[in-house]
Amino acid sequence: MKKRIPAIKGTKDILPQEAKIWQAVEAVVKRVCELYGYKEIRTPVFEATELFEKGTGETSDIVIKEMYTFTDKGGRSLTLRPEYTPSVVRAIIDHRLNLKPDPLRFYFMGPMFRYDKPQKGRYRQFHQLDVEVFAEQDPAVDAELVEMADFLLEELKVADTETLVNSVGCKKCRPSYITKLRTQAQKEKQELCEDCQRKVLTNPLRIFDCKVETCQDVAKKFPMITEHLCQECEEHFKQFCAYLEFFGLEYRIEPRLVRGIDYYTKTTFEIVSAKLGAQDAILGGGRYDDMMKEFGGPDICGIGFAMGLERLLSVIPKTEKKEPFLYLAYLGKKAKKTGMLLSQFLRRKGVECLMEYREKSLKSQMSRANKLGASWVLIVGEDEVKKGKYQLKNMTTGQQEEKTQEDILEVIQKAS
Protein backbone atom coordinates (compact mmCIF):
# COMPACT_ATOMS: atom_id res chain seq x y z
CA MET A 1 0.00 0.00 0.00
CA LYS A 2 1.35 3.42 -0.97
CA LYS A 3 1.29 6.08 1.73
CA ARG A 4 -1.33 8.84 1.42
CA ILE A 5 -0.10 12.40 1.72
CA PRO A 6 -2.90 14.39 3.35
CA ALA A 7 -3.33 18.18 3.38
CA ILE A 8 -1.45 20.07 6.08
CA LYS A 9 -3.32 20.63 9.36
CA GLY A 10 -5.02 24.02 9.42
CA THR A 11 -5.28 24.26 5.62
CA LYS A 12 -8.39 23.68 3.58
CA ASP A 13 -9.21 22.72 0.00
CA ILE A 14 -11.83 24.93 -1.58
CA LEU A 15 -13.75 22.52 -3.80
CA PRO A 16 -15.50 23.64 -7.00
CA GLN A 17 -18.96 24.14 -5.52
CA GLU A 18 -17.55 26.26 -2.72
CA ALA A 19 -15.19 28.07 -5.10
CA LYS A 20 -18.30 29.34 -6.92
CA ILE A 21 -19.46 31.03 -3.70
CA TRP A 22 -15.97 32.50 -3.20
CA GLN A 23 -16.06 33.93 -6.72
CA ALA A 24 -19.46 35.52 -6.11
CA VAL A 25 -18.28 37.03 -2.80
CA GLU A 26 -15.05 38.27 -4.39
CA ALA A 27 -17.06 40.00 -7.13
CA VAL A 28 -19.20 41.86 -4.53
CA VAL A 29 -16.09 42.81 -2.53
CA LYS A 30 -14.35 44.14 -5.64
CA ARG A 31 -17.41 46.18 -6.66
CA VAL A 32 -17.90 47.71 -3.22
CA CYS A 33 -14.18 48.53 -2.75
CA GLU A 34 -14.06 50.24 -6.11
CA LEU A 35 -17.22 52.26 -5.34
CA TYR A 36 -15.24 53.83 -2.49
CA GLY A 37 -12.23 54.59 -4.68
CA TYR A 38 -10.00 51.67 -3.64
CA LYS A 39 -7.70 50.07 -6.21
CA GLU A 40 -6.32 46.56 -6.06
CA ILE A 41 -2.68 46.08 -5.09
CA ARG A 42 -0.89 42.69 -5.09
CA THR A 43 2.30 42.07 -3.18
CA PRO A 44 4.41 38.90 -2.75
CA VAL A 45 3.36 36.09 -0.44
CA PHE A 46 6.70 36.23 1.40
CA GLU A 47 8.67 39.18 2.70
CA ALA A 48 11.77 39.81 4.80
CA THR A 49 11.02 38.59 8.34
CA GLU A 50 12.12 41.96 9.66
CA LEU A 51 9.17 43.64 7.95
CA PHE A 52 6.69 41.88 10.23
CA GLU A 53 8.91 42.02 13.32
CA LYS A 54 9.07 45.77 12.92
CA GLY A 55 5.56 46.31 11.55
CA THR A 56 3.29 43.82 13.30
CA GLY A 57 5.45 44.25 16.39
CA GLU A 58 7.87 42.18 18.42
CA THR A 59 5.49 41.79 21.37
CA SER A 60 2.49 40.67 19.29
CA ASP A 61 1.39 37.01 19.43
CA ILE A 62 1.68 36.89 15.65
CA VAL A 63 5.42 37.61 15.72
CA ILE A 64 6.20 35.68 18.90
CA LYS A 65 4.30 32.50 18.13
CA GLU A 66 2.61 32.41 14.78
CA MET A 67 4.92 33.23 11.91
CA TYR A 68 5.94 30.80 9.19
CA THR A 69 9.58 31.85 9.05
CA PHE A 70 12.28 30.06 7.09
CA THR A 71 15.77 30.61 5.77
CA ASP A 72 16.05 30.48 2.00
CA LYS A 73 18.97 29.00 0.06
CA GLY A 74 20.66 32.40 0.08
CA GLY A 75 20.60 32.48 3.90
CA ARG A 76 17.90 35.20 4.14
CA SER A 77 15.22 35.00 6.79
CA LEU A 78 11.84 35.13 5.05
CA THR A 79 8.29 34.95 6.38
CA LEU A 80 5.01 33.97 4.73
CA ARG A 81 2.85 37.04 5.32
CA PRO A 82 0.76 36.67 8.49
CA GLU A 83 -1.08 39.93 7.67
CA TYR A 84 -1.09 42.44 4.88
CA THR A 85 -0.60 45.97 6.21
CA PRO A 86 3.23 45.92 6.48
CA SER A 87 3.47 44.70 2.85
CA VAL A 88 1.30 47.57 1.56
CA VAL A 89 3.32 50.11 3.52
CA ARG A 90 6.54 48.64 2.13
CA ALA A 91 5.15 48.76 -1.44
CA ILE A 92 4.19 52.44 -1.06
CA ILE A 93 7.70 53.28 0.11
CA ASP A 94 9.42 51.11 -2.56
CA HIS A 95 7.40 52.61 -5.43
CA ARG A 96 7.05 56.12 -3.97
CA LEU A 97 3.31 55.83 -4.51
CA ASN A 98 2.79 58.85 -2.25
CA LEU A 99 4.33 61.07 -4.94
CA LYS A 100 1.73 60.00 -7.50
CA PRO A 101 -1.56 61.88 -7.87
CA ASP A 102 -3.73 58.77 -7.28
CA PRO A 103 -5.48 58.48 -3.92
CA LEU A 104 -3.67 56.12 -1.57
CA ARG A 105 -6.57 53.70 -1.25
CA PHE A 106 -5.80 50.01 -1.72
CA TYR A 107 -7.50 46.66 -1.34
CA PHE A 108 -6.36 43.09 -1.66
CA MET A 109 -7.73 39.58 -1.26
CA GLY A 110 -5.45 36.61 -0.71
CA PRO A 111 -4.00 34.01 1.63
CA MET A 112 -2.31 34.79 4.96
CA PHE A 113 -0.36 32.31 7.08
CA ARG A 114 -0.29 31.94 10.86
CA TYR A 115 0.90 29.03 12.97
CA ASP A 116 -2.25 29.26 15.05
CA LYS A 117 -3.98 26.44 16.90
CA PRO A 118 -6.40 25.14 14.25
CA GLN A 119 -10.04 25.28 15.35
CA LYS A 120 -13.38 26.47 13.99
CA GLY A 121 -12.75 29.88 12.38
CA ARG A 122 -8.99 29.63 12.85
CA TYR A 123 -6.76 28.19 10.16
CA ARG A 124 -3.07 28.21 9.36
CA GLN A 125 -3.70 29.32 5.81
CA PHE A 126 -6.70 31.61 5.64
CA HIS A 127 -7.82 34.43 3.39
CA GLN A 128 -8.34 38.08 4.10
CA LEU A 129 -9.78 41.06 2.36
CA ASP A 130 -7.49 43.89 3.31
CA VAL A 131 -8.48 47.54 2.84
CA GLU A 132 -6.07 50.40 3.56
CA VAL A 133 -6.23 54.18 3.14
CA PHE A 134 -3.30 56.50 3.69
CA ALA A 135 -2.65 60.23 4.19
CA GLU A 136 -6.09 60.94 5.69
CA GLN A 137 -5.97 62.31 9.25
CA ASP A 138 -9.62 63.28 9.46
CA PRO A 139 -11.72 60.97 11.69
CA ALA A 140 -14.35 61.16 8.93
CA VAL A 141 -12.26 58.62 7.00
CA ASP A 142 -12.21 56.28 10.03
CA ALA A 143 -16.01 56.44 10.01
CA GLU A 144 -16.19 56.04 6.22
CA LEU A 145 -14.16 52.85 6.47
CA VAL A 146 -16.55 51.39 9.05
CA GLU A 147 -19.49 52.54 6.90
CA MET A 148 -17.96 50.76 3.89
CA ALA A 149 -17.50 47.53 5.90
CA ASP A 150 -21.13 47.86 7.01
CA PHE A 151 -22.31 48.32 3.41
CA LEU A 152 -20.23 45.38 2.25
CA LEU A 153 -21.81 43.11 4.86
CA GLU A 154 -25.25 44.41 3.89
CA GLU A 155 -24.56 43.65 0.22
CA LEU A 156 -23.52 40.13 1.23
CA LYS A 157 -26.73 39.75 3.29
CA VAL A 158 -24.82 39.23 6.55
CA ALA A 159 -27.21 40.07 9.37
CA ASP A 160 -26.95 40.35 13.17
CA THR A 161 -23.54 41.94 13.44
CA GLU A 162 -22.26 44.35 16.06
CA THR A 163 -19.69 47.10 15.59
CA LEU A 164 -17.23 47.63 18.44
CA VAL A 165 -15.00 50.70 18.57
CA ASN A 166 -12.23 52.04 20.77
CA SER A 167 -9.21 54.32 20.82
CA VAL A 168 -5.81 53.00 21.89
CA GLY A 169 -4.22 56.44 22.15
CA CYS A 170 -0.93 57.48 20.64
CA LYS A 171 2.76 57.77 21.43
CA LYS A 172 2.04 60.77 23.64
CA CYS A 173 -0.65 59.31 25.90
CA ARG A 174 -0.12 55.55 25.76
CA PRO A 175 3.20 55.28 27.70
CA SER A 176 1.77 56.77 30.90
CA TYR A 177 -1.33 54.57 30.56
CA ILE A 178 0.89 51.49 30.05
CA THR A 179 2.79 52.35 33.24
CA LYS A 180 -0.48 52.47 35.20
CA LEU A 181 -1.63 49.25 33.54
CA ARG A 182 1.64 47.49 34.37
CA THR A 183 1.44 48.52 38.03
CA GLN A 184 -2.09 47.14 38.25
CA ALA A 185 -1.21 43.96 36.31
CA GLN A 186 1.81 43.40 38.55
CA LYS A 187 -0.52 43.31 41.55
CA GLU A 188 -2.73 40.67 39.92
CA LYS A 189 0.13 38.71 38.34
CA GLN A 190 -0.56 35.47 40.23
CA GLU A 191 -4.07 35.34 38.73
CA LEU A 192 -2.80 35.52 35.14
CA CYS A 193 -1.81 32.70 32.80
CA GLU A 194 1.89 32.09 32.15
CA ASP A 195 1.74 33.92 28.83
CA CYS A 196 0.13 37.00 30.40
CA GLN A 197 2.63 36.99 33.28
CA ARG A 198 5.30 37.52 30.64
CA LYS A 199 3.17 40.26 29.01
CA VAL A 200 3.13 42.24 32.29
CA LEU A 201 6.72 43.14 31.54
CA THR A 202 6.84 43.13 27.73
CA ASN A 203 3.50 44.74 26.81
CA PRO A 204 0.64 44.62 29.34
CA LEU A 205 -1.78 45.92 26.69
CA ARG A 206 -1.60 42.47 25.07
CA ILE A 207 -3.23 40.93 28.20
CA PHE A 208 -6.54 42.26 26.83
CA ASP A 209 -6.11 39.96 23.79
CA CYS A 210 -5.86 36.82 25.96
CA LYS A 211 -8.66 34.32 25.48
CA VAL A 212 -8.17 32.63 28.90
CA GLU A 213 -11.28 33.33 30.96
CA THR A 214 -9.48 34.10 34.24
CA CYS A 215 -7.21 36.59 32.45
CA GLN A 216 -10.28 38.26 30.90
CA ASP A 217 -11.88 38.54 34.35
CA VAL A 218 -8.71 40.11 35.77
CA ALA A 219 -8.47 42.48 32.79
CA LYS A 220 -11.99 43.75 33.46
CA LYS A 221 -10.64 45.49 36.56
CA PHE A 222 -7.73 47.14 34.74
CA PRO A 223 -7.77 50.91 34.07
CA MET A 224 -9.37 51.77 30.74
CA ILE A 225 -7.42 53.47 27.99
CA THR A 226 -10.37 55.65 27.01
CA GLU A 227 -9.98 57.42 30.35
CA HIS A 228 -6.30 58.17 29.71
CA LEU A 229 -6.32 59.67 26.22
CA CYS A 230 -4.53 62.92 25.45
CA GLN A 231 -6.64 65.79 24.19
CA GLU A 232 -5.85 65.10 20.52
CA CYS A 233 -6.79 61.40 20.77
CA GLU A 234 -9.89 62.15 22.80
CA GLU A 235 -11.06 64.71 20.22
CA HIS A 236 -10.34 62.28 17.36
CA PHE A 237 -12.33 59.52 19.08
CA LYS A 238 -15.24 61.86 19.83
CA GLN A 239 -15.42 62.99 16.23
CA PHE A 240 -15.08 59.42 14.92
CA CYS A 241 -18.09 58.37 17.03
CA ALA A 242 -20.04 61.46 15.94
CA TYR A 243 -19.39 60.65 12.26
CA LEU A 244 -20.54 57.05 12.81
CA GLU A 245 -23.81 58.44 14.18
CA PHE A 246 -23.96 60.88 11.27
CA PHE A 247 -23.82 57.87 8.91
CA GLY A 248 -26.63 56.28 10.92
CA LEU A 249 -24.42 53.42 12.17
CA GLU A 250 -24.90 51.71 15.49
CA TYR A 251 -21.83 50.90 17.55
CA ARG A 252 -20.68 50.02 21.04
CA ILE A 253 -17.58 51.46 22.73
CA GLU A 254 -15.46 48.54 23.94
CA PRO A 255 -12.55 49.94 26.00
CA ARG A 256 -10.79 46.57 26.03
CA LEU A 257 -10.62 46.37 22.26
CA VAL A 258 -6.87 46.83 21.76
CA ARG A 259 -6.52 44.24 18.95
CA GLY A 260 -3.55 41.90 18.81
CA ILE A 261 -1.21 44.06 16.79
CA ASP A 262 1.30 46.56 18.16
CA TYR A 263 1.09 49.34 15.61
CA TYR A 264 -2.37 50.76 16.22
CA THR A 265 -2.82 54.40 17.21
CA LYS A 266 -6.12 56.10 18.03
CA THR A 267 -9.04 54.28 16.37
CA THR A 268 -9.56 50.51 16.57
CA PHE A 269 -12.72 48.67 15.55
CA GLU A 270 -14.18 45.23 15.01
CA ILE A 271 -17.37 43.87 13.52
CA VAL A 272 -18.46 40.70 15.28
CA SER A 273 -21.17 38.14 14.64
CA ALA A 274 -22.86 36.10 17.35
CA LYS A 275 -23.18 33.29 14.79
CA LEU A 276 -19.41 32.72 14.82
CA GLY A 277 -18.94 31.34 18.33
CA ALA A 278 -15.64 31.88 20.16
CA GLN A 279 -13.83 33.41 17.16
CA ASP A 280 -16.52 36.01 16.60
CA ALA A 281 -14.71 38.79 14.70
CA ILE A 282 -15.55 38.96 11.00
CA LEU A 283 -13.24 41.92 10.56
CA GLY A 284 -10.99 44.17 12.55
CA GLY A 285 -8.85 47.17 11.95
CA GLY A 286 -7.58 50.50 13.08
CA ARG A 287 -5.35 53.48 12.54
CA TYR A 288 -1.57 53.23 12.37
CA ASP A 289 -0.17 56.71 12.03
CA ASP A 290 3.50 55.90 12.73
CA MET A 291 4.24 52.78 10.68
CA MET A 292 5.29 54.42 7.41
CA LYS A 293 7.74 56.74 9.19
CA GLU A 294 9.16 53.88 11.23
CA PHE A 295 9.81 51.92 8.03
CA GLY A 296 12.01 54.78 6.83
CA GLY A 297 9.28 56.21 4.58
CA PRO A 298 7.46 59.55 4.54
CA ASP A 299 5.43 60.67 7.55
CA ILE A 300 2.06 59.45 6.28
CA CYS A 301 -0.72 58.13 8.47
CA GLY A 302 -2.81 55.08 7.60
CA ILE A 303 -5.96 53.24 8.57
CA GLY A 304 -7.42 49.96 7.40
CA PHE A 305 -9.16 46.72 8.22
CA ALA A 306 -8.83 43.04 7.46
CA MET A 307 -11.80 40.75 7.01
CA GLY A 308 -11.44 36.98 7.33
CA LEU A 309 -13.01 35.48 4.22
CA GLU A 310 -13.53 31.99 5.70
CA ARG A 311 -15.39 33.55 8.63
CA LEU A 312 -17.34 35.80 6.29
CA LEU A 313 -18.37 32.83 4.16
CA SER A 314 -19.54 30.93 7.21
CA VAL A 315 -22.12 33.64 8.02
CA ILE A 316 -23.33 34.35 4.48
CA PRO A 317 -26.75 32.86 3.78
CA LYS A 318 -26.36 30.05 1.24
CA THR A 319 -28.22 30.42 -2.03
CA GLU A 320 -27.86 27.77 -4.70
CA LYS A 321 -27.73 29.40 -8.11
CA LYS A 322 -26.91 27.17 -11.03
CA GLU A 323 -25.49 28.67 -14.20
CA PRO A 324 -27.30 27.46 -17.34
CA PHE A 325 -25.26 25.07 -19.49
CA LEU A 326 -25.61 22.80 -22.46
CA TYR A 327 -24.69 19.10 -22.47
CA LEU A 328 -23.66 17.78 -25.85
CA ALA A 329 -24.61 14.14 -26.38
CA TYR A 330 -23.28 12.35 -29.45
CA LEU A 331 -23.49 8.93 -31.09
CA GLY A 332 -20.68 7.59 -33.24
CA LYS A 333 -17.27 8.75 -34.43
CA LYS A 334 -18.47 11.27 -37.06
CA ALA A 335 -20.93 12.82 -34.59
CA LYS A 336 -18.14 13.10 -32.04
CA LYS A 337 -16.09 15.28 -34.39
CA THR A 338 -19.08 17.42 -35.38
CA GLY A 339 -19.92 17.72 -31.67
CA MET A 340 -16.40 18.94 -30.93
CA LEU A 341 -16.76 21.69 -33.53
CA LEU A 342 -20.24 22.62 -32.31
CA SER A 343 -18.91 22.89 -28.74
CA GLN A 344 -16.02 25.01 -29.94
CA PHE A 345 -18.44 27.32 -31.78
CA LEU A 346 -20.84 27.67 -28.83
CA ARG A 347 -18.13 28.19 -26.20
CA ARG A 348 -16.53 30.91 -28.28
CA LYS A 349 -19.92 32.63 -28.37
CA GLY A 350 -20.10 32.47 -24.57
CA VAL A 351 -22.27 29.39 -24.07
CA GLU A 352 -21.12 27.00 -21.34
CA CYS A 353 -20.95 23.62 -22.97
CA LEU A 354 -19.96 20.20 -21.65
CA MET A 355 -18.99 17.26 -23.83
CA GLU A 356 -17.55 14.06 -22.34
CA TYR A 357 -15.33 11.73 -24.29
CA ARG A 358 -16.48 8.38 -22.97
CA GLU A 359 -18.54 6.52 -25.57
CA LYS A 360 -21.97 5.91 -24.05
CA SER A 361 -25.48 5.15 -25.18
CA LEU A 362 -27.82 8.09 -25.76
CA LYS A 363 -29.89 6.95 -22.78
CA SER A 364 -26.97 7.08 -20.40
CA GLN A 365 -25.81 10.45 -21.80
CA MET A 366 -29.33 11.83 -21.23
CA SER A 367 -29.42 10.57 -17.66
CA ARG A 368 -25.96 12.03 -17.02
CA ALA A 369 -27.14 15.44 -18.34
CA ASN A 370 -30.12 15.20 -16.04
CA LYS A 371 -27.98 14.41 -13.02
CA LEU A 372 -25.63 17.30 -13.74
CA GLY A 373 -28.58 19.70 -14.07
CA ALA A 374 -28.00 20.68 -17.72
CA SER A 375 -30.39 23.32 -19.06
CA TRP A 376 -30.26 21.91 -22.58
CA VAL A 377 -29.04 18.76 -24.28
CA LEU A 378 -27.85 18.92 -27.85
CA ILE A 379 -28.17 15.53 -29.52
CA VAL A 380 -25.82 14.85 -32.41
CA GLY A 381 -26.20 11.56 -34.30
CA GLU A 382 -25.17 10.39 -37.80
CA ASP A 383 -28.46 11.69 -39.35
CA GLU A 384 -28.06 15.10 -37.73
CA VAL A 385 -24.51 15.37 -39.03
CA LYS A 386 -25.73 14.68 -42.59
CA LYS A 387 -28.54 17.28 -42.32
CA GLY A 388 -26.50 19.95 -40.50
CA LYS A 389 -29.47 20.17 -38.08
CA TYR A 390 -29.36 18.92 -34.50
CA GLN A 391 -31.86 18.03 -31.78
CA LEU A 392 -31.97 20.67 -29.05
CA LYS A 393 -33.81 19.52 -25.94
CA ASN A 394 -34.90 22.02 -23.32
CA MET A 395 -34.49 20.09 -20.06
CA THR A 396 -36.94 22.27 -18.15
CA THR A 397 -39.88 22.04 -20.56
CA GLY A 398 -38.92 18.72 -22.15
CA GLN A 399 -39.49 20.30 -25.58
CA GLN A 400 -37.21 19.05 -28.38
CA GLU A 401 -36.63 20.87 -31.68
CA GLU A 402 -34.45 20.46 -34.74
CA LYS A 403 -32.08 23.43 -35.10
CA THR A 404 -29.09 24.63 -37.08
CA GLN A 405 -25.93 25.79 -35.32
CA GLU A 406 -26.98 29.46 -35.58
CA ASP A 407 -30.52 28.76 -34.35
CA ILE A 408 -29.18 26.89 -31.34
CA LEU A 409 -27.07 29.89 -30.40
CA GLU A 410 -30.02 32.24 -30.81
CA VAL A 411 -32.33 30.10 -28.62
CA ILE A 412 -29.75 29.86 -25.83
CA GLN A 413 -28.77 33.52 -25.95
CA LYS A 414 -32.42 34.56 -25.77
CA ALA A 415 -33.01 32.34 -22.75
CA SER A 416 -29.91 33.51 -20.82
Q: Which residues contribute to the site for ligand AMP (CB under 6 A)?
A: 83, 114, 116, 121-123, 126, 128, 259-260, 281-284, 306, 308, 310-311
At closest approach, how far in Å is the CB of 181 from ligand AMP?
21
At closest approach, how far in Å is the CB of 148 from ligand AMP?
16
Query: Please, which residue, 112 or 392, has the CB nearer to ligand AMP?
Result: 112
| CB of 411 closer than 8 Å to CB of 392 | yes
At closest approach, how far in Å is the CB of 286 from ligand AMP?
9
| CB of 104 closer than 8 Å to CB of 307 | no
What distance in Å separates the CA atoms of residue 61 and residue 221, rounded to the nearest whole number? 23
The backbone torsions φ and ψ at residue 248, rounded to the nearest 5 degrees and listed phi first, read: 75, 25
At closest approach, how far in Å is the CB of 153 from ligand AMP?
12
**Residues of 344-355 as b/e, b for ≥16 C-beta within 10 angstroms?**
eebeeeebebeb
Query: Please, which residue, 241 or 281, has the CB nearer to ligand AMP?
Result: 281
H-assigned helices in 285-404: 291-294, 309-315, 333-348, 362-372, 382-387
From 180, 269, 191, select the one nearest 225 (Cα to Cα): 180
Q: Which helix (H) or strand (E) holds 140?
A: helix 139-155
Cβ-proximal residues to 305 (8 Å cutoff; 6+ apart), any chain:
130, 131, 145, 149, 269, 283, 284, 285, 286
Query: Please, which residue, 122 or 349, has the CB nearer to ligand AMP?
Result: 122
- Order of all β-strands in the sheet with 353-354: 353-354, 326-330, 376-380, 390-394, 400-403
Query: Please, which residue, 128 or 343, has the CB nearer to ligand AMP?
Result: 128
For the four alpha carbons of 46, 261, 247 and 137, in that order, the dihedral sign comes to negative
- Terminal CA-CA length for the chain: 50
Query: Please, which residue, 122 or 180, has the CB nearer to ligand AMP?
Result: 122
Query: Please, which residue, 128 or 375, has the CB nearer to ligand AMP?
Result: 128
- 330: which DSSP letter? E
286-to-125, 263, 303 alpha-carbon distances in Å:
23, 9, 6
At closest approach, how far in Å is the CB of 210 from ligand AMP?
14
**Residues of 115-153 as b/e, b for ≥16 C-beta within 10 angstroms?**
ebeeeebbbbbbbbbbbbbbbbeebbbbbbbbbbbbebb
The pairing of strands 390-394 and 376-380 is: antiparallel
The residue sitting closest to ligand AMP, measured at its beta carbon, is: 308
At closest approach, how far in Å is the CB of 126 from ligand AMP?
3
At closest approach, how far in Å is the CB of 208 from ligand AMP?
14
Query: Please, which residue, 53 or 356, has the CB nearer to ligand AMP?
Result: 53
At closest approach, how far in Å is the CB of 283 from ligand AMP?
5
What distance in Å separates the CA atoms of residue 26 and residue 9, rounded to the nearest whole number? 25
Query: Please, which residue, 139 or 308, has the CB nearer to ligand AMP?
Result: 308
At closest approach, how far in Å is the CB of 259 from ligand AMP?
6
Query: Please, which residue, 116 or 352, has the CB nearer to ligand AMP?
Result: 116
